[in-house]
Amino acid sequence: MAVPPGARKCTICGAEDPLPAESARRAPRRLRTRLRLIGAVRTLIVVGVIAALTYSLVSVALQGEPNVPDPLTTAGSYLIGPGNFTVISGEITGGDYVVGNFTSLTPSGASVELAVYNSTEFVDFYSHSEASPAYTILPSPTGRIIYSAPYTDNFYFVFENPYAPSTHLSVTVYITTEYESNVGDEGFG
């Protein structure tokens, strides 16, 4: 690269006996071509980085906030074998709540039990130890879920088939849940 007049070293790399700017025009053709190529590559790199950053920023601005589905906002049918359970779980911020309902589909009128456990109590439940649910709905064919978390934690909504394994009675239950934030969209102010 050309350097300022009278320079004894290259200002960029420190090389001795650099090519002065006024001599660059009279340099051999091969060297001039190389200098132009290096300049063009540097310009392309700068323009490419600017274009990539512009694309990234504009695409994020146009897409808006990311839409990450909450695991506690769901709807679906679950087949629960006799004496077994299914779990819907996720983190709930203290003061937020989960609302929903469940209905046994087949056999019609079969009961299902709901118990909500925090992360510690769920470990006890899962290991067949004594566990204390934070919220329960006794065995019923339908139920309305309204659970407000007293603190932030992972909560486990355990839907259990209360029939003994000897009955061979599997229950299909339709469950809908929706996570509701206690903070309004209007913000603070």
Residues of the chain with CATH 2.60.120.680: 74-180
Mean of the per-residue pLDDT values of the chain: 87
Map residue 135 onto helix, strand or coil: strand
Contact 24, 36 (CB under 8 A): no
Q: How many residues does the chain have?
A: 189
Pick one of 3.40.50.740, 2.60.120.680, 3.40.190.10, 3.40.50.10540 as the CATH number of 74-180: 2.60.120.680
Model confidence pLDDT, tens digit, residues 173-189: 999 999 998 775 544 44
Model pLDDT, residue 44:
96
pLDDT digits (tens, 9 = 90+) for 75-109: 999 999 999 999 999 999 988 999 999 999 999 99
C-alpha to C-alpha distance for 108 and 139, rounded to whole angstroms: 14
Which H or E element spans position 102? strand 97-106
pTM of the model: 0.63
